Structures are given as structure tokens and as C-alpha cells.
């Protein structure tokens, strides 16, 4: 560690790979960054925001051959590729953080049902640590393989876990989650529907027949809920490049409806995450008091997407519809930072013995 961290980013041409490189460039302990590409374009042509960084693309096989000299490998690849490369990387002694979906399920059958393909490295699934740092911090220092969750899932988990672990949700009632992602969430491959001229001033719903992240959410949320949950996940791309906006409705237990209030929910979330630097640094609860009358549009007591863009923070707001007995949760992150590269760097920090906020303390734009 005295020589600094040597990191490879396999899949360095996409939005997540570029963001991974950007964050690593700002990390004081990282001394070498090796992004890969199968194409012929230069690194700075693909990522002009990193002009002057001095980074260049490497061939992925070149990196794999030298992996024994690396401290960590970030896999920013499409689903299917990580499971093919990871066994060799681990055998060579590298520690792997996978930003794809390949190791997020402990059960290979659950992966097959969700992604329609057989898992080719099922023997590694039991040891993969699920990479929500706030929930699995203690497992990271010894981990060889970390499965970084995706942007929808990490934003929803952080937003809903305190409510479910407190036993407030009515058993059997579906969790309704409406989620909007920036267009970078659609990936870098050109598609007409994602062009600025098409998306600007519009919304682009997709996967309403059953989003692939719903089973992952059901798996992970069943743990704090203490039993099976059903997730009704509706997704869309919004007319912005970066960000995840999640708004969830959770039916409260019948016997608790008279007791629940926004103040009680805020107390629970503050208890779970603490307050700022005295708690989970990257999870902030919006506790602005209600101003005005019952029907006034009091925008400031809920978090805004603009408040987290460019940062590794998750901002959470809550409220309560007493007439219907439904707790409301708003959770926002930057899909490329806390939803991908930022949480991966946070995990790396814990794995390698650094303060987990190193290189990530910047606030939103």
C-alpha cells in the first residue's frame, strides 16, 4: 500500500467506466489507472472531460496478463462478461469489484430467471459481497469479490430499508416504486429514442412488463422486511443526463396507522443513518419542517435531484398520507456516482483500509 493503489478499469469506454476513471484520478492514494478498450480511439477522445489526465487505453488481455501486479480491478462491462473474466482475475490475486449484474444474486437460478442466461461461475456467487457499503461494511475488508448494486437498487434500498427494518410495512402489501433515470442509464450505445432531440421535454417509460431489477430488490428488501415482499417497479428515462429519482409508497400496518407521522418516520431514518458526519456520511435526511397550510406546495421539505448530481450522496425525504395509511419516501442519487462508480470507490476504500470517504467528499453541483 505504501506504493499506492494500482487499479484497472475493464470496460473504460462507457459512461460508468469514464466516471470510474474520473473518480480514481481524484483519489490521493491511487497512483496508476489502467482503463481498457477494444476500439482504436484515444482515451481523451472518448472522454474529453478528462483531457490532460494522461490516461490511455490498454488492451484487456494485456491487463489480464499483468493482473497479479494490480490491487483492484473494476469491471464496468455488460452482464455476462464479468462472470467470464472474474475467475481468472481472482486466481491471479486481484480483488474485483463488479459493476455489472453478474454477481448480485447468491442463487444462479435467480440469475437465470432474471437475465435469461446460465451463470458460468456459480461457484463464486456465495463469496460475493453485496456492495452497499452502508449495510455490508464489515464484510468488505476480507472480500475478494464485490457485487456492486445498480443505481435503481442502491437508491431504493437506502430509501426503504429503515422503514422495513422498523416493521412498519404491512405484510403482503406491494411496495410501489416509481423511478426515473437519466439518459446515461441507457448506456453509451446510440439509440434514436435516447437522442437529446427525442428525450428533451419528454419522458421515456420502459420495462413496465417487469423490470430486471425488481427481483433483485425483492431479494434484498425481504431481509429487512423479515419475509417476502412484492416490488411494483415502474421505470422511465427523464430529460436529464444524470440522476436517479425514486418515489415509493409503502402501506403501513393497520395497527400502527394512528401512531405514524412524518415526525416519527424522520426519527426512524435519523436513528438508522445518523446525522451527517456523525452517521452515514453519504446518506442525508431532509428534515425541513412543513411550512404553510395543508394544501401548500412546500417543495423544500423533499430532496431534489439537482442536490446530488456530481456527488456520492443519497438524499432521502419522507412523509405520511394519514388518510390512506401510506408512508411516502423520496430517494435521489447520481446514477453514475452513488449509483455506480462512486459506491464502487467507496467499497474499494473499505476493502483496502482507507477512510471510505477518500476521494468522494465533494458535494452536489
Domain positions in the chain are 5-127, 152-336
**CATH number for the domain formed by residue range(s) 152-336:** 3.30.360.10
User: Cβ contacts of residue 284 below 8 Å, gap of 6+?
Assistant: 276, 303, 313, 314, 315, 316
Q: Domain 5-127 is in which class? A: alpha beta
Give whole-number Cα distances, 83 to 119, 132, 186, 190, in Å: 7, 20, 22, 25
- Give me Rg for the CA atoms of the chain: 20
| Residue length of the chain | 365
- Among the options 21, 76, 151, 314, which is catalytic? 151
Average pLDDT of span 248-258: 97
Question: What cell numbers appear for 292 in the block?
Answer: 404553510
pLDDT, one tens digit per residue, over 156-211 is 999 999 999 999 999 999 999 999 999 999 998 889 999 999 999 999 999 999 99
- Residue 40: Cβ-neighbour burial (10 angstroms; 0-12, 13-18, 19+): exposed
- The whole-number pLDDT of residue 1 equals 40
Average pLDDT of span 44-63: 95
* Cβ atoms 20, 341 nearer than 8 A: yes
Residue-averaged pLDDT of the chain: 94
3-state secondary structure 267-308: HHHHHHHCCHHHCCCCEEECCCCCCCCCCCCCHHHCCCHHHC
Distance of CA 100 to the CA centre of its chain: 11
Distance of CA 27 to the CA centre of its chain: 20
The answer on pLDDT for 292 being more than 80 is no
Q: Cell numbers 459512461 label which residue? A: 15
Active site residue 151: yes
* Euclidean distance between the first and the last CA atom of the chain, given in angstroms as a whole number: 32
Amino acid at each position: 500500500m505504501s506504493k499506492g493503489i494500482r487499479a484497472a478499469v475493464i470496460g473504460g469506454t462507457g459512461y460508468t467506466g469514464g466516471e470510474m476513471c474520473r473518480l480514481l484520478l481524484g483519489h490521493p492514494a491511487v497512483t496508476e489507472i489502467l482503463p481498457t478498450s477494444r476500439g482504436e480511439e484515444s482515451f481523451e477522445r472518448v472522454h474529453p472531460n478528462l483531457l490532460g489526465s494522461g490516461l490511455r487505453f490498454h488492451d484487456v488481455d494485456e491487463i489480464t496478463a499483468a493482473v497479479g501486479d494490480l490491487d483492484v480491478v473494476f469491471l464496468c462491462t455488460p452482464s455476462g462478461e464479468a462472470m467470464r473474466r472474474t475467475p481468472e482475475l481472482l486466481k491471479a490475486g486481484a480483488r474485483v469489484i463488479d459493476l455489472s449484474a453478474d454477481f448480485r444474486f447468491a442463487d444462479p437460478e435467480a440469475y437465470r430467471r432474471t437475465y435469461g442466461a446460465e451463470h458460468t461461475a456459480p461457484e463464486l456467487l456465495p463469496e460475493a459481497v453485496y456492495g452497499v457499503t452502508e449495510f455490508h461494511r464489515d464484510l468488505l475488508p476480507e472480500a475478494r469479490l464485490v457485487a456492486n448494486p445498480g443505481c435503481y437498487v442502491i437508491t431504493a434500498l437506502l430509501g426503504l430499508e429503515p422503514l422495513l427494518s422498523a416493521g412498519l410495512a404491512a405484510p403482503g402489501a406491494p411496495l410501489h416504486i416509481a423511478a426515473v433515470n437519466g439518459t446515461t442509464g441507457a448506456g453509451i450505445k446510440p439509440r434514436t429514442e435516447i437522442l437529446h432531440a427525442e428525450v428533451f421535454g419528454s419522458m421515456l417509460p420502459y420495462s413496465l412488463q417487469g423490470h430486471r431489477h425488481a427481483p433483485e430488490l425483492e431479494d434484498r428488501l425481504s431481509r429487512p422486511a423479515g419475509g417476502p415482499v412484492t416490488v411494483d417497479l415502474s421505470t422511465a428515462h427523464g430529460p436529464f443526463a444524470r440522476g436517479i429519482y425514486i418515489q415509493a409508497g409503502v402501506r403501513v400496518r393497520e395497527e400502527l396507522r394512528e401512531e405514524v407521522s412524518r415526525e416519527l418516520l424522520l426519527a426512524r431514518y435519523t436513528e438508522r443513518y445518523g446525522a451527517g458526519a456523525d452517521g452515514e456520511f453519504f446518506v442525508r435526511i431532509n428534515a425541513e419542517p412543513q411550512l404553510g397550510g395543508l394544501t401548500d406546495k412546500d417543495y423544500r421539505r423533499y430532496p431534489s435531484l439537482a442536490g446530488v448530481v456530481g456527488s456520492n450522496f443519497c438524499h432521502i425525504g419522507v412523509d405520511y398520507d394519514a388518510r390512506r395509511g401510506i408512508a411516502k419516501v423520496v430517494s435521489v442519487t447520481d446514477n453514475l456516482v452513488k449509483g455506480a462508480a462512486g459506491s464502487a470507490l467507496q467499497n474499494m476504500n473499505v476493502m483496502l483500509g482507507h477512510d471510505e470517504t477518500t476521494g468522494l467528499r465533494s458535494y452536489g453541483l
